[in-house]
Amino acid sequence: AVRDGDDWVLNGSKLFITSAPYAGVFVVWAVTDPLARKGKGISCFLVEPGTPGMVIGKAEEKMGQHASSTNEILFQDCRISGSQLMGELNKGFKVAVVELSGGRIGIGSLALGIGQAAIDAASRYALERKQFDRPIADFQAIQWKIADVYTELEAARLLLMNASFKKEQGVAFGREASMAKLFASEAANRACYEAMQIYGGYGYSTDYPIERYARDVRLTSIYEGTSEIQRLIIAKDILATLK
């Protein structure tokens, strides 16, 4: 972003913007001081859709989460008023960190919902599907899967509630948000895998919802920071408290 009188002129692009065609406002982080050291010189702006110079690109063709559009956003000499600055000039990185942590609680919750739907459906299926003249839910191997998945999802739910509580209390919650997002997304991926195993071949069929859950859940361990990034954040925060 370059200042021009009382205005700012934005140039640049960002991939993978969720629900871009439906957004009522865009929160844009831009470099406003290119000479500043790392983590500084970034400011946050509010940009309304339809602003001249802002272009919503084509929708990505994704493996899953088809109910949500994902697009590239381009800024080409996009002029905005100085009043559209959100927060303080060159201090937008702090806003970004808080927003990312909040977003991780959201993605973890989304993952939890998908995983819960998958294992709920699989458990009901196990009560209906019969082999050797009895429901497959009677078999120990199926019961173990159900028990493990429900236990992991309940643990994920408690991690998410803890992170949400800390956020509402106005205290630091970055580590807790990363822990919750990491565990919930990976537990939900395992839940969908085990649900598909319970369904057997039918789990791979579009006649049942499991294949959609499996496709939708995969992204939860990637966006808002991959599982690997969450582990780095958690470890860095823990080690910093021990020095």
Digits of tens for pLDDT over the chain (243 positions)? Answer: 999 999 999 999 999 999 999 999 999 999 999 999 887 899 999 999 999 999 999 999 999 999 999 999 999 999 999 999 999 999 999 889 899 999 999 999 999 999 999 999 999 999 999 999 999 999 999 999 999 999 999 999 999 999 999 999 999 999 999 999 999 999 999 999 999 999 999 999 999 999 999 999 999 999 999 999 999 999 999 999 998
Catalytic residues: 224
Strand partners, 91: 42
pTM summary value = 0.91
**CA distance from start to end of the chain:** 38
What's the CATH fold of domain 94-242?
Butyryl-CoA Dehydrogenase, subunit A; domain 3 (1.20.140)
Domain 2-86 has CATH 3.40.50.2300: no
> Which residues make Cβ contacts (< 8 Å) with residue 96, sequence separation at least 6?
29, 42, 44
Q: Where are the domains of the chain?
A: 2-86, 94-242
